[in-house]
Structure formats: structure tokens, C-alpha cells
């Protein structure tokens, strides 16, 4: 009975959050987006190849994130990535992937964070989810996350803020490219989630609300 009560309480927390989001949802301001590839040479990236193709993929990816209303940051080194994450999280409760699945040593910042082994009540109470990704799709600004051990799907879906870490070698031009490369892994996984901006829901009158069925705020941090 005690276990049932814990699940019920966690469920009540989640439903209460959904009801609150329906009342307080917002629509991000429309921002101008420059043409794909424009200004790509000015994007800071220190990936191993340093290739023009990578710079253009990153520029296109950032353009799509801007159009989606996604906050994004490109940092020059691992310490800058960790500093950015600390600033975003502040004192909020964190639900994260296992440290081994998070790049740039970010997992070590939150030793007491909630993870996949934590009680559902603790997961439901987290304000910020921190994940890596398996690919960043330039043409749509999407993040691909293949679930697995140490990479719980709920970390990207349950908290109201989702912070996603991206490495330059994870950039892919299209969904098709990602599917071709990772077909076997995707088929073997319990789930593959694509995150394309904050959660959006529209009612019959086409009134758009963010954050009803998932994070209302998505932050992407690209490291070196």
C-alpha cells in the first residue's frame, strides 16, 4: 500500500503541473532567422575536424533552434559548458542522465541529483532535466535521444526545463542520415525521442500553449 501511495502522489504532482501549465502557458516572440549557412564562419566551434561542413551544420542547427524559440549557447571549452549549466540550474532540483552519458564532466556537478533509480516522487519534483543527445539534426533543430541504461527518457520529458548537451560530432544534416547510421541501435532500444523545441499544445481555437505535455523551456548547450 505504501508503494501505491507514493505512485499516486507522484501522479498527482505531474497532473497538477499539467493543469498549471494550461493556465500559465506562453508563446515565444517570433525572432528573425538568417538564411541557412549565412554567417557560419563566425560561429565559434573547436571540433577536431574544424571542417567547413561542420561549421555550416552548426550554423543551420542554431538558426533552427532560434526559429523554435530554443535558448542556445556555444561554449569554447568544457569549463565554460559546466559554468553555463551551473548558471541555468541555479539551486533547482536536477533529474539527469548518468554522469558517464553526459559530456564535458557535467554529471559530476550534481552528485545528489535524481536519476533513473530515484523514486518517482523525486523525479516528479525535479525542476531541471539534464541530458546529452545521440544526434543534433541541423535541418529541423531536433535532438535525437535513444533511451537506454543511464539515459532515462523521463529526464528530457518530465522537468519543466530541459538542458541538452551537444558535441559537434553529433551534428547531422538530416533525420535520414541519423536513421541510416543508427538503425540497429534504434531498433534495439525501448524508445527513441526527438525533441524539437518546447512542448507545444493548441486547443480547438488554435490557442498555442507551451509546456503542457513536456518541458516549456529547452536549453541547448554546444561544447567544443
pLDDT of residue 80: 98
Q: Which three cell numbers stand for residue 48?
A: 577536431
Give 85-133 pLDDT, tens digit per residue: 999 999 999 999 999 999 999 999 998 999 999 999 999 999 999 999 9
Distances 68 to 5, 38, 126, 130 between C-alpha atoms, Å:
39, 18, 24, 19
What gap in Å lies between CA 170 and CA 115, rounded to an integer? 23
**CATH entry 3.90.1170.10 includes domain 2-27+34-222:** no
Cα torsion 1, 148, 183, 175 to 10°: value is 90
State the DSSP code for 13: H
Give 153-179 pLDDT, tens digit per residue: 999 999 999 999 999 999 999 999 999
Report the predicted TM-score, pTM, of the whole model to 2 decimal places: 0.76
Q: Which three cell numbers stand for residue 71?
A: 535558448
Give 18-49 pLDDT, tens digit per residue: 677 655 554 455 444 444 444 333 344 444 44
Q: DSSP states of 134-171 as a string?
A: SEEETTTTEEEEE-BTTB-THHHHSSSEEEEEE-GGGE
Q: Which three cell numbers stand for residue 95?
A: 533529474
> Residue 166: what are its φ and ψ, rounded to 5°?
-125, 135
Angle CA(200)–CA(203)–CA(209) in degrees, nearest 5? 35
pLDDT of residue 198: 78
Q: DSSP states of 173-220 as a string?
A: S-HHHHHHHHHHHHHHSS-EEEE-SS-EEE-TT--EEESSSS-SEEEE
pLDDT category, 10, cuts 50, 70, 90?
confident
Give 164-222 pLDDT, tens digit per residue: 999 999 999 999 999 999 999 999 999 999 999 875 554 555 554 544 456 889 999 99
Amino acid at each position: 500500500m505504501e508503494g501505491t501511495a507514493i505512485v499516486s502522489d507522484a501522479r498527482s504532482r505531474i497532473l497538477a503541473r499539467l493543469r498549471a501549465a494550461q493556465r500559465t502557458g506562453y508563446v515565444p516572440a517570433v525572432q528573425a532567422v538568417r538564411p541557412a549557412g549565412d554567417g557560419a564562419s563566425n560561429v565559434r566551434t573547436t571540433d577536431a575536424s574544424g571542417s567547413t561542413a561542420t561549421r555550416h551544420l552548426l550554423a543551420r542547427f542554431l538558426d533552427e533552434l532560434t526559429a523554435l524559440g530554443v535558448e542556445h549557447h556555444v561554449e569554447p571549452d568544457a569549463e565554460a559548458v559546466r559554468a553555463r549549466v551551473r548558471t541555468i540550474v541555479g539551486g533547482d532540483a536536477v533529474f539527469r542522465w548518468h554522469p558517464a552519458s553526459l559530456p564535458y564532466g557535467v554529471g559530476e556537478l550534481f552528485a545528489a541529483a535524481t536519476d533513473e533509480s530515484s523514486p518517482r516522487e523525486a523525479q516528479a519534483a525535479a525542476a531541471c532535466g539534464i541530458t546529452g543527445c545521440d544526434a543534433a539534426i541541423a535541418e529541423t533543430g531536433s535532438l535525437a535521444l535513444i533511451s537506454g541504461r543511464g539515459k532515462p527518457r523521463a529526464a528530457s520529458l518530465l522537468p519543466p526545463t530541459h538542458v541538452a548537451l551537444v558535441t559537434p560530432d553529433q551534428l547531422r544534416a538530416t533525420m535520414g542520415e541519423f536513421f541510416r547510421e543508427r538503425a540497429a541501435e534504434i531498433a534495439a532500444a525501448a524508445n527513441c525521442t526527438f525533441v524539437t523545441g518546447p512542448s507545444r499544445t493548441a486547443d480547438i481555437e488554435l490557442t498555442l500553449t507551451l509546456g503542457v505535455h513536456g518541458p516549456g523551456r529547452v536549453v541547448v548547450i554546444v561544447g567544443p
